[in-house]
């Protein structure tokens, strides 16, 4: 395809077709590790790197793999990449590796990665595929970070705590204490908080989209009378 | 002679939402008064605060959703949710805890699901569980019931505790709050004490009355009376509370007979904690309860069974809120499988009895 539109790929990944908010894929890690901003960021970046690499690799071999065996081949590619990332994190980000635990190897099972390989990379050239992987990963990371921030702020009253897990000793004092003496809303850190938080993020996105569509559709027409239409 | 003809229905029950809710509130009154008598001003403040927050949240949500205010505000449903919550929360709960519980109940558990009639979970119980899970420490601020050697806190003291978190001079939380009988029983049983030892102990014995906990037995008795009145007036279905109480009675009786020393008696189980409030006023919520006669039995028995399990082996001293929420979740399934046969139709005509239907 010669008419690849890089802006559209970016927009799709970040917003219109966001992995977490629209496709609702990869919710298991999304809900499980977003206790803090840094946990979310760590897993988000790991997922993004996996997506870029797997999309690139799948795109490279797309003309040689027969459709009948494509899924096992994709899964093997993704598994090798994730194993590499896991070993790298074990070596260089050992503390973060311990915090994220099982969710790093579980990136293999993140539906969005196989989903992108199948839906995009297996049909497109290498460069657009890698960009697609990056943008999808970035969109996913953004949601992880925002949700992590939401839960951390509500649950602990802080932001960016344990940043040294990722950025080393210089980040030890990055922790923002939003409220002193905060007793903590335990619900936000527990699993229900993740579900509620994600629900609110999806709702907010839908509201923004709706506003946008209304603005574009009828800038000159009078706004729809809500009272009349609901009666 | 001319007869005036009219079409069915011939007996029109006047069961508008407003009337039902008003009657439930009325039936709540004796038990609520007993709560005020035994636990003092905290109950009054909680009731007023919860009602205020409920009305505000309801009005705000109705406005946001573009619904008319007047008919929905005046149906008393928000007030009922607030009152049930206020009676379930500890009397010295800080004001923000009550506010969070009520706001969560009305805004998230009720309106985000589509408002009254569409919520799958009992709003009051959702609000209660949210604060129970989130603020375990504040949820222990129960005051000792009025009994020998104890007196209720004054209005000013109670007000200061709830709104400013300031304890009266010379008092500590340990001196003004007390574990509930159910809580004490659970803790002490965990320490390998027998029921008799606990009931006769110098430290804890005085909080156990003739049948339930001191004060609690009266409160439960009066909620039972109000609930029976509702059942007789056919505002609630008697099957649900009957199922709850029956399951709890049978289970606790069986276990108490099996091992008298480590399982509380059925009468204690039935007259402690919020059991009558839960069975007659919360489990019977027309929106979230099962709607078929057989289903209501299953729903009620399930709640009673869960309450016994949570009280005996669970992590919380009382489990009414969890039991009701879990059973709420099962209601669509229960209703589906207990749908009464429509007159003139055979059982096999229903989709779930029609196995070949799925094979098509």
Q: Which residue, A139, A132, A127, A126, is CA-closest to A25?
A: A139
Alpha helices in A34-125 (DSSP H): 37-60, 70-92, 94-100, 111-119
Instruction: Encode pLDDT of A12-56 as tens digits.
Output: 888 888 888 888 888 888 888 888 888 888 889 989 999 999 999
| Highest mean pLDDT out of B13-17, B18-22, B353-357 | B18-22
Q: B-chain residues within 8 Å CB-CB of A186?
A: 133-136
Q: Which residue, B284, B289, B293, B288, is CA-closest to B339?
A: B293
Residue A196 to chain B, least CA–CA distance (Å): 9
| Range in A88-92, A120-124, B138-142, B289-293 with the lowest mean pLDDT | B138-142
At residue B357, the pLDDT reads: 44
Residues of A with CB under 8 A from a CB of B: 183, 185-188, 190, 192, 196, 226-227, 230
Q: Which chain A residue has the Cα nearest residue B130? A: A187
Q: B-chain residues within 8 Å CB-CB of A189?
A: none
At residue B14, the pLDDT reads: 66
At residue B173, the pLDDT reads: 80
Q: ipTM of this predicted complex?
A: 0.73
Q: B-chain residues within 8 Å CB-CB of A230?
A: 66-67
Q: A-chain residues within 8 Å CB-CB of B108?
A: 196
Instruction: Encode pLDDT of A110-138 as tens digits.
Output: 888 898 888 888 888 999 999 999 999 99
- Assigned token pair, B82: 């607030």
- Judge whether B256 and B199 are in contact, CB under 8 Å: no
Among the partner-chain residues A187, A188, A230, the one whose CB lies closest to the CB of B66 is: A230
Q: How confident is the model over A5-18, as a mean pLDDT?
A: 83
Q: B-chain residues within 8 Å CB-CB of A183?
A: 135, 137
Residue B66 to chain A, least CA–CA distance (Å): 6
Query: Which residue of A151, A181, A186 to mutate against B (max B Cβ within 10 Å)?
Result: A186
CB contact under 8 A, A185 and B134: yes
Q: How confident is the model over A54-65, as a mean pLDDT?
A: 91
CB contact under 8 A, B108 and A196: yes
Instruction: Encode pLDDT of B224-245 as tens digits.
Output: 999 999 999 888 999 999 999 9
At residue B345, the pLDDT reads: 77
CB contact under 8 A, A186 and B66: no
Residue B291 to chain A, least CA–CA distance (Å): 28
At residue B149, the pLDDT reads: 67
Q: Which chain A residue has the Cα nearest residue B133? A: A187
B121 sits in which H/E element: none
- Judge whether B321 and B283 are in contact, CB under 8 Å: no
Among the partner-chain residues A186, A226, A227, the one whose CB lies closest to the CB of B134 is: A186
What does the CA dihedral A74, A136, A160, A87 come to, rounded to 10 degrees? Answer: 20
CB contact under 8 A, A185 and B108: no
Q: B-chain residues within 8 Å CB-CB of A192?
A: 133
CB contact under 8 A, A187 and B134: yes
Residues of B with CB under 8 A from a CB of A: 66-67, 108, 130, 133-137
pLDDT exceeds 90 at position A219: no
Give the Cα separation of A224 and A69 in Å (integer): 52
Q: Which residue, A116, A106, A59, is CA-closest to A85?
A: A106
pLDDT exceeds 80 at position A169: no
Give the Cα separation of B200 and B44 in Å (integer): 33
Give the Cα separation of B339 and B294 in Å (integer): 8
- DSSP secondary structure letters along B143-162: PPPS-TT--PPPHHHHHHHH
CB contact under 8 A, B136 and A186: yes
Instruction: Provide the CA B311 distance to its chain's centre, in angstroms.
Output: 15
CB contact under 8 A, B130 and A187: yes
The three-class DSSP label of residue B212 is: coil
Report the share of chain B in percent with pLDDT over 90.
49
Query: Which residue of B61, B134, B329 to mutate against A (max A Cβ within 10 Å)?
Result: B134
Residue A227 to chain B, least CA–CA distance (Å): 6
Confidence of residue A229 (pLDDT cuts 50, 70, 90): very low
Going along A59-204, which residue ranges are E strands? 158-159, 176-177
At residue A230, the pLDDT reads: 44
- Judge whether A101 and A28 are in contact, CB under 8 Å: no
Q: A-chain residues within 8 Å CB-CB of B130?
A: 187
Residue B96 to chain A, least CA–CA distance (Å): 12
CB contact under 8 A, A186 and B135: yes
- Judge whether B217 and B209 are in contact, CB under 8 Å: yes
B172 sits in which H/E element: none
- Domain locations in chain B as residue ranges: 17-177, 180-339
Give the Cα separation of B238 and B279 in Å (integer): 10
- Judge whether A159 and A149 are in contact, CB under 8 Å: yes
| Range in A2-16, A101-115, A169-183, B45-59 with the lowest mean pLDDT | A169-183
CB contact under 8 A, B135 and A183: yes
Instruction: Encode pLDDT of B17-27 as tens digits.
Output: 888 899 999 99
Q: Which chain A residue has the Cα nearest residue B63? A: A227
Q: How many CB atoms lie within 10 A of CB B225?
A: 14
Instruction: Encode pLDDT of B83-116 as tens digits.
Output: 999 999 999 899 999 999 999 999 999 999 988 8
Chain pair A-B, CB pairs under 8 angstroms: 19
Give the Cα separation of B157 and B140 in Å (integer): 18
At residue A220, the pLDDT reads: 56
Q: A-chain residues within 8 Å CB-CB of B133?
A: 186-187, 190, 192
Q: In terms of pLDDT, which residue wins out, B283 or B154?
A: B283
B64 sits in which H/E element: helix B41-64
At residue A182, the pLDDT reads: 73
Instruction: Encode pLDDT of B142-192 as tens digits.
Output: 888 877 667 778 888 888 888 888 888 777 787 788 888 888 888 888 888
Among the partner-chain residues A185, A188, A227, the one whose CB lies closest to the CB of B66 is: A227
């Amino acid at each position: 395809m010669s008419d690849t539109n890089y802006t559209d790929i970016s927009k799709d990944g970040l917003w219109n077709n966001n992995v977490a908010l629209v496709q609702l894929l990869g919710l298991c890690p999304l809900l499980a590790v977003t206790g803090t901003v840094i946990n979310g960021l760590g897993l988000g970046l790991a997922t993004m790197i996996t997506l870029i690499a797997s999309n690139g690799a799948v795109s490279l071999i797309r003309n040689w793999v027969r459709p009948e065996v494509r899924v096992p081949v994709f899964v093997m590619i993704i598994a090798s990449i994730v194993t590499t990332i896991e070993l790298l994190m074990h070596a260089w980000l050992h503390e973060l590796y311990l915090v994220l635990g099982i969710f790093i190897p579980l990136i293999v099972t993140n539906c969005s990665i196989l989903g992108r390989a199948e839906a995009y990379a297996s049909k497109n050239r290498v460069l657009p595929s890698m960009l697609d992987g990056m943008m999808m990963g970035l969109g996913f990371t953004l949601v992880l970070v925002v949700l992590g921030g939401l839960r951390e702020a509500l649950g602990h009253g802080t932001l960016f705590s344990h940043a040294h897990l990722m950025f080393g000793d210089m980040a030890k004092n990055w922790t923002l204490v939003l409220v002193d003496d905060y007793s903590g809303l335990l619900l936000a850190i527990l699993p229900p908080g993740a579900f509620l938080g994600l629900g609110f993020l999806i709702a907010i996105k839908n509201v923004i989209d709706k506003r946008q569509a209304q603005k574009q559709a009828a800038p000159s027409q009078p706004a729809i009378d809500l009272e009349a239409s609901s009666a | 002679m001319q007869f005036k003809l009219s079409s069915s229905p011939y007996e029109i029950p006047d069961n508008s939402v407003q009337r039902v809710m008003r009657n439930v509130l009325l039936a709540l009154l004796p038990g609520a008064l007993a709560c005020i008598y035994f636990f003092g001003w905290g109950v009054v403040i909680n009731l007023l605060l919860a009602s205020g927050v409920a009305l505000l949240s309801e009005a705000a949500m109705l406005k946001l959703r573009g619904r008319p205010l007047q008919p929905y505000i005046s149906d008393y449903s928000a007030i009922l949710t607030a009152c049930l919550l206020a009676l379930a929360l500890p009397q010295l709960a800080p004001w923000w805890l009550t506010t969070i519980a009520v706001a969560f109940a009305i805004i998230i558990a009720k309106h985000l699901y589509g408002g009254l009639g569409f919520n799958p979970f009992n709003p009051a119980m959702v609000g209660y569980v949210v604060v129970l899970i989130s603020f375990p420490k504040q949820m222990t601020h129960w005051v000792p019931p009025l009994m020998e050697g104890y007196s209720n806190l004054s209005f000013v003291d109670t007000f200061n505790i709830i709104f400013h978190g300031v304890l009266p001079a010379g008092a500590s939380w340990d001196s003004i709050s007390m574990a509930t009988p159910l809580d004490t029983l659970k803790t002490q049983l965990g320490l390998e004490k027998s029921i008799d030892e606990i009931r006769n102990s110098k430290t804890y014995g005085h909080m156990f009355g003739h049948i339930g906990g001191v004060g609690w037995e009266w409160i439960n008795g009066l909620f039972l009376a109000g609930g029976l009145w509702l059942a007789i007036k056919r505002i609630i279905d008697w099957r649900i509370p009957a199922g709850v109480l029956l399951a709890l009675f049978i289970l606790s009786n069986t276990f108490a007979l099996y091992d008298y020393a480590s399982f509380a008696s059925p009468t204690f189980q039935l007259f402690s904690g919020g059991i009558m409030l839960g069975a007659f006023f919360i489990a019977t919520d027309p929106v979230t309860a099962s709607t078929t006669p057989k289903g209501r039995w299953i729903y009620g028995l399930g709640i009673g069974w869960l309450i016994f399990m949570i009280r005996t082996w669970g992590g919380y001293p009382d489990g009414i809120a969890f039991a009701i929420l879990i059973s709420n979740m099962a209601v669509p399934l229960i209703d589906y499988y207990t749908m009464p046969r429509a007159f003139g139709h055979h059982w096999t005509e229903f989709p779930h009895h029609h196995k070949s239907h799925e094979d098509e």
